[in-house]
């Protein structure tokens, strides 16, 4: 079985443009190439896991996501990074398109997409990671036994913390995420990311749980 790094798309792998399906507007997040290259070279499969409720809400057709995936793969491949998989959930229970307006098991934080990817690519979940920019990503990863990293880029606004929604680590970009993963799993880097100042009323809870594992 093979370890993987599951990666959220909008706000993590690429800059967040809400409900965007225009390939020309897709821009990789700072540090994405450097971080993913180091993970790829270390033997991790790279798999995108993304909620795309714009389909259920009628903002765009499901077919529009094919061009999004193609453009994303082009941008990454130009720098030598290759995705093993691209998985999306088109559903939302409050959607307006009947086919997609359902409660499903694939919309994060539900783990359906991760389980599907695991089955199709022989992934070892206990040796894998989920990196995302909101706590729903963290919960999805923890549900299947992955280690988790939260990118603290301002996209998480609710901070509804619980044991299943507390990330293992908090970093600022995919370069730092890769450094954490390689240090924890392989001991390949001595450089540690800096502690993140969340500036929130529940900062103490989050940082105590996180920093005690890595930053001390």
Look over the chain and give the mean of its residue pLDDT values, rounded to a whole number: 89
pLDDT at residue 212 tops 90: no
State how far the alpha carbon of 17 is from the alpha carbons of 13, 44, 134, in Å.
Answer: 12, 27, 15
CA-based end-to-end distance of the chain: 32
What confidence score (pLDDT) does residue 188 get? 61
At 206, is the pLDDT very low, low, confident or very high (cuts 50, 70, 90)?
Answer: very low
Provide the 8-state DSSP code for 54: T
- Among residues 8, 133, 137, 173, which one is catalytic? 8
Cα(87)–Cα(118) distance, integer angstroms: 11
Domains and CATH numbers, the chain: 4-214 (3.40.50.1000)
In the residue annotation, 137 being an active-site residue is answered as no
pLDDT at residue 204 tops 50: no
Q: What is the CA radius of gyration of the chain?
A: 17
What confidence score (pLDDT) does residue 215 get? 40
In the residue annotation, 152 being an active-site residue is answered as no
What confidence score (pLDDT) does residue 186 get? 85
pLDDT in tens, 148-193: 999 999 999 889 999 999 999 999 999 999 999 999 998 765 444 4
103 CB contacts (<8 Å, ≥6 apart)?
Answer: 91, 93
Cα(64)–Cα(67) distance, integer angstroms: 6
* Closest listed residue to residue 141, CA positions, set 133, 129, 152, 153: 129
Over range 14-25, report the average pLDDT: 97
Angle made by CA atoms 6, 8, 9, in degrees to the nearest 5: 130
């Amino acid at each position: 079985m093979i370890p993987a790094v599951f990666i959220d798309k909008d706000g993590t792998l690429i800059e967040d443009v809400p409900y965007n399906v225009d390939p020309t507007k897709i821009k990789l997040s700072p540090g994405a190439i450097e971080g993913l290259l180091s993970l790829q070279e270390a033997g991790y499969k790279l798999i995108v896991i993304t909620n795309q409720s714009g389909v259920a809400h009628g903002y765009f057709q499901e077919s529009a996501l094919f061009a999004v995936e193609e453009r994303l793969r082009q941008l990454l491949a130009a720098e030598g990074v290759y995705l093993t998989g691209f998985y999306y959930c088109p559903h939302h229970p409050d959607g307006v398109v009947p086919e997609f307006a359902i409660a499903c098991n694939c919309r994060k934080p539900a783990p359906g997409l991760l389980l599907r990817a695991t089955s199709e690519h022989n992934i070892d979940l206990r040796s894998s990671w989920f990196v995302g920019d909101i706590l729903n990503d963290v919960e999805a990863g923890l549900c299947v036994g992955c280690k988790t990293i939260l990118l603290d880029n301002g996209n998480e606004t609710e901070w509804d913390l619980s044991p299943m929604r507390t990330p293992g680590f908090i970093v600022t970009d995919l370069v730092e995420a890769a450094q954490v993963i390689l240090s924890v799993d392989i001991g390949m880097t001595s450089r540690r990311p800096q502690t993140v100042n969340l500036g929130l009323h529940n900062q103490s809870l989050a940082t105590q749980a996180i920093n005690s594992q890595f930053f001390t």
